[in-house]
Chains A and B, each alone.
Chain A
Amino acid sequence: MPYIPYTPKQVQDMLEVIGVKSINELFDVIPKELKNSTLNIPSGKSEYEVLTHLKNLAQKNRTDLISFLGAGFYDHYIPAPIKHILQRSEFYTAYTPYQPEASQGTLQAIFEYQTAMARLMEMDFANASLYDGGTAIYEAMMMAVRITKRKKIIISETVNPIYRLMLQCYTKNLHLELVTIPHQNGKTNLEELKKSIDQQTACIIVQNPSFFGELQDYSPLFSLAQKQGALSIISVYALLQSILKTPGEMGADIAVAEGQSLGLPLNFGGPYLGILTTRKKHIRQMPGRVVGKTTDKQGQTGFVLTLQAREQHIRREKATSNICSNQALCAFQALLYIAFLGPEGLKRTAEQSIEKAHYAAQKLTSIPGVKLLNDYAFANEFALTLPVNAFELVNHLTARGFIPGFPLGRYYPGLENCLLLACTEKRTFEEIGILTEMIKAYLTYRR
C-alpha cells in the first residue's frame, strides 16, 4: 500500500480500540443509498511507470523553440541555487503559518518578501501574495471600490487583455461600471483617460510597460485622479521595476504585478505570483495575509500573521477578500531570485533584455515593409507592423523552430498585421540575426 504505513495487524488493533469489526463499518454513517464504490479509473502504477508516462508526455511538448514570446510572461534565466533552496521540504511541506512558534522560517521569509516588494515598488506595504497578476488587479480594484465607495472603474485597453477579460468575469454581478479607454494605434490614450475621470470614479487602472511594451510616466494622470478622489492602480513588470520609474515615484495608490519574471518558470501558466503593494493609509482594505514583526515573552524578535481581522476566517462574509491559500512558495521563490541577484544582478538582467530588444527592433525594422507600430519608448518588448498577417508569420516560423512573438490580432481586432516581440537576457544577438533573416526570407518568398 503506497504511502500507507499500517500493517494488517495494526489495522486490527486499531479497529478493536474503536470497537468496530471492519473498516467498512466505519462508513456505515453514510446512508446506503448514497454510497457508490465503483471507481472506473485504472489500477495504481509503480513509481517508475508513472514517471515514464509523464516523461513521455513532457516530451510531446516542444520547449527547444527559440522564443520571442512574452505578452506578460517572460522566459528569464533561473539561477540554479533557487531550485535547491526551494527543495527544502521544511518550507514546501509546511502549511499556512498559523502557529508562529513552529513557523518562523516561513514567516520571516514572507516578511522579507513583503520588504523586498515594497522596496522594489517604492510603496509602503505589500501583502504575502495573491494568485497571479490578474487577480491582483481585481483585488486592487475591489480595494478602491471599498475605499472610495464609488462604482466606476476606468481601465486602459493597453492593460493586458487577459487580465481585462478576468475583470469582466469577476465584476459581472457586482453592479460596477467598467469603462475601457481604447488604445490609439498601440499607445495608451492618456488624454482620454484624463478626461474620463470624474467624481464617480473609484480608480483608474494602467500598466507599465503597457501590453504593447510602451513606457509611460503616469505621474500627471495619477495626480489628476487624486484630485478627483479616485485611486490610481498600476500593474508593472516586476523584474524591470529594478530600473524603471517606480509606482511610488509616480504616486500610485496600489501597485500590482505578475511576479513570474522574478525567477519563476513559465510552467504553462502557473503557479505564478500576484504581487500587491499599497500605501499605509489603505492598509485596512488590503486583501490577503500579511506578516508583522513583534517580540516574544523574552523580548526576542519574531514574526506573526497580523491584521487578520480583515480576513475571511474571522470576518466571513464581511472580509476584504475570500482568499485563503495564496502563492507562498512562489513568493519565496521571487524573494530568492532577488536575494541571489541583488540590485546589480537585477539591473544587468533588465538591461541586457532591453539592449537586445532594441537591437532586435533596429534589425527587424531594416526589413522593407516592417515598421514599429508606434513611436513610443519601450523597454524589452515592442510591437511591429508587418506587411502580412502576423498569425501566418508566426505559424510559418514556429514550424521552423522560432516563435517570433505574439500576434496582436488575437486580442486586438484591426491589428492582425501586428506582432509583439519580447527579448529576455537569454536571447542572443545571433538568434536575433537569424530571426531577422527568416522573416526577411518569408516576406520575400511570400511576394
Chain B
Amino acid sequence: MIPENLLYTKSHEWVKIDQETAIIGITHFAQEQLGDITFIELPEVGRTLEQGEEIGSIESVKAASEVYSPVSGEVIEINTSLEDAPEKINEDPYGEGWICKIKLSAPPQKLLTPEEYAKLIQEHE
C-alpha cells in the first residue's frame, strides 16, 4: 500500500506534488498503526508552514500522533469533511483521507521515494 506516484516522510506523511501545490496526508501504514481514528485537528487555511513543522494531530482510541508538514508553503485548502468523518483516513488514506493542500514556497527537501519509504516500514516491523 505505497502508491508509486507519491513522495513520503520518515514521520509517515505522504505528499503529492503538482507544480505549485502539494496535497498531503498520512500513509496507510500510519493509519494502521493508529487504529480507528476518532479525531483530527486540521491546520488553519492561510497558515504558512516550514517543512517539518507540526500542522495538527490525529487521535485514535488508544493512540495519538502529530502530523508534520512535508513541505514549506501556505495552507490553501483543508479537508473539512474529516471533522465529521475522520474514519475516511482509515478507509482511504491516499484519497478521501487527504488532509490539506499547500501552496509551495520552496522546493521540498529530502523526501523519500516509494522504495525508500517501503524500506523504512520494513525496518519498523
Contacts and interface: CB of A to CB of B under 8 A. Distances in A.
Whether the complex brings A and B within 8 Å at their CB atoms is answered yes
A309 B64 contact: yes
Nearest to A315: B64
A306 B60 CA distance: 10
A284 interface: yes
B64 A314 contact: yes
Contacts of B117: none
Contacts of B62: 308-309, 314
Interface in A297-324: 306-310, 314-315, 318
Contacts of B59: 307, 309-310
A314 B63 contact: yes
Contacts of B64: 309-310, 314-315, 318
A310 B41 CA distance: 12
B39 A284 contact: yes
B63 A309 contact: yes
B38 to A, nearest CB: 8
A309 B60 CA distance: 7
Given A308-B62, A310-B59, 20 more contacts: A284-B39, A284-B41, A306-B61, A307-B59, A308-B61, A309-B38, A309-B39, A309-B59, A309-B60, A309-B61, A309-B62, A309-B63, A309-B64, A310-B64, A314-B62, A314-B63, A314-B64, A315-B64, A318-B64, A318-B66
Interface in B97-121: none
A315 B64 CA distance: 7
Interface string A277-296: 00000001000000000000
Contacts of A309: 38-39, 59-64
Interface of A: 284, 306-310, 314-315, 318
Interface string B42-71: 000000000000000001111110100000
B39 to A, nearest CB: 7
Contacts of B66: 318
* The 5 A-B residue pairs with the shortest CB-CB distance in the complex, in nearest-first order: A309-B59, A309-B64, A315-B64, A314-B64, A314-B63
22 contacts: A284-B39, A284-B41, A306-B61, A307-B59, A308-B61, A308-B62, A309-B38, A309-B39, A309-B59, A309-B60, A309-B61, A309-B62, A309-B63, A309-B64, A310-B59, A310-B64, A314-B62, A314-B63, A314-B64, A315-B64, A318-B64, A318-B66
Interface of B: 38-39, 41, 59-64, 66
B27 to A, nearest CB: 19
A308, A309, A310, A314: most-surrounded residue (chain B CB, <10 A): A309
Chain B facing A: main interface SS: strand
Nearest to A283: B39
A315 B57 CA distance: 11
Nearest to B64: A309
A313 to B, nearest CB: 10
Tell me which of B39, B41, B64 has the highest count of chain A C-beta atoms within 10 A of its own C-beta: B64
B36 to A, nearest CB: 11
A159 B64 CA distance: 36
A34 B109 CA distance: 53
Contacts of B39: 284, 309
Contacts of A307: 59
A314 B64 CA distance: 7
A310 B38 CA distance: 12
Contacts of B61: 306, 308-309
Contacts of A318: 64, 66
Contacts of A284: 39, 41
A383 to B, nearest CB: 46
A261 B59 CA distance: 37
Contacts of A306: 61
A284 B57 CA distance: 11
A194 to B, nearest CB: 28
A314 B61 CA distance: 10
A310 B60 CA distance: 10
B14 to A, nearest CB: 22
A307 B59 CA distance: 8
In this complex, the member of B41, B59, B60, B63 whose beta carbon has the largest number of chain A beta carbons within 10 angstroms is B59
A309 B64 CA distance: 5
Contacts of B63: 309, 314
A447 to B, nearest CB: 68
A284 B60 CA distance: 13
A80 B35 CA distance: 48
A314 B65 CA distance: 10
A131 B94 CA distance: 44
A308 B64 CA distance: 9
Contacts of B60: 309
A308 B39 CA distance: 12
Nearest to A313: B62
Contacts of A310: 59, 64
A288 B38 CA distance: 18
Contacts of A315: 64
A417 to B, nearest CB: 53
